[in-house]
Amino acid sequence: MCRESELYHPVTIGGLEVPGNLFLAPLAGYSDVAFRSLCVSYSCDLTYSEMLSAEGFVRGSGGTFNLLARDPRERFFGAQIFSSSPYSAARAAAAIAALPVPPSLIDLNCGCPVPKVVKTGAGSALLRNPRLVYDMVKAMKESCALPVTVKIRSGWDAASINYLETAGAACQGGAALVCLHARTRAQGYGGRAEWGHIRNLKEKCGIPVFGSGDVLSGEDAARMLRETGCDGLMFARGAIGNPFIFRQTRDCLALGRAAEPSARERMRMGLEHLDLCIRAKGEALACREMRKHFAAYSKGLPGGARLRAALVRACTAADYRETVEGYLGGIPEPGP
């Protein structure tokens, strides 16, 4: 067994060497350049884009390519695509790899449970057809030199747990890493993640295996690494409103404990996030999008409900700062 301090380590993904094993998972509607860069500043080792349609790259959609804009701090960055067509996935991979500054790797989504994605045969629908997963990964690998990773779930439902078969197909197709969100498509984001599936996959898979699911704190992360033996983690919901989870995890692994951020630290982080978002998207759009983020930053704080009720009415950066400063003014300063 590894010592806790040894559970944080570099990881090799194909020909790519990443210095640590704590990644930000692709998060539709959340993992834009502002949020990703904030996570990197709190010790995230690799970030992924939001989930992007392969068809957008095939059509040459400027909007789709724009979603791959990255912060200079994002040294290690993955682009995630969804598709049900080996041809489209390969075309998208080639287009992404040909960018002036290509990402570090490309990920194929085989886990999204959202109906509008599943009905196209993409996302979690691919869990029903491991042969198609093999064909898609193989086509992507043949179209570009970037490492290809795959994110999967345990299966379609409790009656069809087939993560070993799906991961095996991805591996045979040339995948360099597989991440298992240890829930079924039927579970969505409810119920409990079955970490035993991650441990079993790690024992049987010949490529790096990352775990995801129910990792909501640094303590959860340390426990998953310890109990499953997986090569690393992808933080999803646990990072929303909580970018410091990456640093907390490293503290838990190195010191056996991690400090919880104060209300003041959470709100200051929210304002930093707002500034990054304004820089990327302009003030009007950033202020609309930051409402959901501030709802997450304020979750569980004293007076959080009143704070959220005020923040959802914020339309400018000045509105946000005035509301936050007013809230913080009513909180005692931390002791020495």
Query: Active-site positions?
Result: 112
SS3 per residue for 179-221: EEEEEECCCCCCCCCCHHHHHHHHHHCCCCEEEECCCCCHHHH
Please give the structure tokens belonging to residue 114: 């959202």
Contact between 213 and 195 under an 8 Å Cβ cutoff? The reply is yes
Strand partners, 151: 109, 179
Q: How far apart are CA 199 and CA 187, in angstroms?
A: 20
Contact between 68 and 79 under an 8 Å Cβ cutoff? The reply is yes
Residue 74: how many CB atoms within 10 A of its CB? 21
SS3 per residue for 95-152: HHHCCCCCCCEEEEEECCCCHHHHCCCCHHHHHHCHHHHHHHHHHHHHHCCCCEEEEE
Residue 192: how many CB atoms within 10 A of its CB? 10
Type of residue at 16: L
Q: How far apart are CA 210 and CA 216, in angstroms?
A: 16
Q: How far apart are CA 121 and CA 114, in angstroms?
A: 11
Which residues, 6 or more positions from 89, have their beta carbon under 8 angstroms from its beta carbon?
54, 81, 83, 108, 136, 139, 140
